[in-house]
């Protein structure tokens, strides 16, 4: 089967090159990741989708990625 994303994820970069990737059309604005992020990195944008407000605070704990019910957010650390 053909696997695809309708649009490319929006990528937010931290100072130390961590990537916070948001597949916007998957995000349903439930607020789980925003609320449970230990460093208050995330918030809603004007479309009520998640975005990285404070990307430099991200510690790559992956809580948002694990809790997201919609596969909408992924964290990538530099190798």
**Among the candidate windows 10-18, 28-36, 39-47, 50-58, which touches another protein by CB under 8 A?**
28-36
Rule CB under 8 A: choose which of 2, 15, 46, 79 binds another protein. 2
Rule CB under 8 A: choose which of 11, 36, 38, 39 binds another protein. 36
Question: 3 vs 46, which CB is nearer to another protein?
Answer: 3
Q: How far is CA 68 from CA 17, 25, 34, 50, in A?
A: 22, 13, 10, 11
Residue 27, token pair as written in the block: 């995000």
């Amino acid at each position: 089967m053909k696997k695809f994303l309708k649009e490319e994820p929006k990528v937010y970069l931290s100072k130390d090159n961590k990537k916070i990737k948001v597949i916007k059309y998957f995000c349903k604005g439930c607020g789980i990741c925003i609320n449970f992020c230990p460093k208050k990195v995330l918030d809603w944008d004007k479309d009520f989708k998640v975005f990285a407000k404070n990307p430099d605070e991200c510690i790559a704990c992956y809580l948002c990625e694990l809790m997201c019910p919609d596969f909408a957010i992924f964290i990538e650390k530099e190798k």
